[in-house]
Structure 1
């Protein structure tokens, strides 16, 4: 495995368990089994390492969400499938999910804006096609996002914090159904 990936994997675990401030580069370096020089060759500082860990988690999540939508032939299976994929991803990648539910790293905006813009453009396009055919409600994207993923995200946050003990995949069908019921066009 490339050294950069070893460092990202080790950093992901430390940042998720301990947070950015409590994590030391020396702990990451020791877990990855690399020299001090190797760390600084790939990442000039801890902040840059955290940004790269955060961006990797974001890309992984967004790719899975896009895949869920592309695999669905109709609006209902897309809405429900995206909620299920969200909860499966959280359950399968709790460290990455923890990182994405934490505050965004300082200085990330300009680097995250471009991939986010593409992601939101793709999701919005998918939605507007189904909206055009009258299958789903016409909503501003902010409201749409809250109704679609808000309950699943809140459940995920609570589960990651240990307040919920039932795995997110077990509640996925119910939350997916609720999302569909709130977004489908009922006229």
Structure 2
């Protein structure tokens, strides 16, 4: 255990440093040496754990996805009914973004952040998480509480408006705290997916 923990700490330090450097300089302009200086890791350690700057960016992206989706799925799983589940998704999304703005900006910059050789793994991981999320909603689909739609529509209907608000907030185009819009956006998502939005389930 003692041998594993320093390795985990070193990798985490490198990823934290990389996020700070990417945020300050941009991904393209950042260098391995920038990350080395910020993390105080050796070049050998960086290459051992991640290989290249692109490997660091991909690992950071995967770490961000893991944290975001784990929270989203856990909160949805805890919901007692379909309406609370949808609200939990919107609330978790906006709270996560506002709590991790630098990491959220990095995830939103996917085309710049993820090199082609890592894109398939990122897509597969995201698809797996989204399938898990939809599986949690299946009982309410079967009961006729939620509408059955093509799977490709659920993401935009559930998180599209919240995602758009988050993007504008992260870029500074809006100053409203996204968390104040949770009720409004959760209500809109519920009305778009509920078979009968006016009915109390």
TM-score class, shorter-chain normalisation, is: over 0.9
> Within 2, Cα distance between the matches of 1:170 and 1:159?
12
Distance in 2 (CA, whole Å) between partners of 1:18 and 1:150 is: 29
Alignment of 1:64-83 (within 5 A): 64-83=71-90
Relative distance call for 1:62 and 1:132 in structure 2 (3 A) is: same
Shift of 1:101: 0.7
Over residues 78-113 of structure 1, what are the superposed CA-to-partner deviations in whole Å (9 max), with x where a residue is unaligned?
001101100000001111111111124122233224
**4+ aligned runs moved over 6 Å, structure 1:** none
State which of 20, 36, 50 in structure 2 corresponds to 1:43.
50
The answer as to 2:143 corresponding to 1:146 is no
Distance 2:29 2:182 in 1: 33
Deviation for aligned residue 1:26: 1.4
SS of the residue 1:96 aligns to: helix
In the alignment, which residue of structure 2 is the partner of 1:163?
Answer: 173
1:71 is displaced (CA, Å) by 1.0
Of 154-163 and 126-135, more deviation after overlay is shown by 126-135
What aligned pairs does 1:24-173 form with structure 2 within 5 A after superposition?
A: 24-104=31-111, 105-106=114-115, 107-173=117-183
> Distance between the aligned counterparts of 1:101 and 1:186, measured in 2?
33
**Per-residue deviation at 1:129?**
1.7
Partners of 1:136 and 1:17 in 2: how far apart?
43
Corresponding residue to 1:8 among 10, 15, 34: 15
The CA RMSD over aligned residues, in Å, is 1.6
How far apart, in 1, do the equivalents of 2:119 and 2:140 lie?
30
Compute the displacement of 1:123 (Å): 1.5
User: Is there any run of 5+ residues in structure 2 with no aligned partner, and where?
Assistant: 1-5
Unaligned runs of 5+ residues in structure 1 are none
Counterpart position of 2:25: 18
Structure 1 distance, partners of 2:121, 2:127, is 11
TM-score by length of 2: 0.86
Cα deviation for residue 31 of structure 1 reads 1.1
- Taking structure 1 as the reference length, the TM-score comes to 0.93
Count of residue pairs brought into register by the alignment: 187
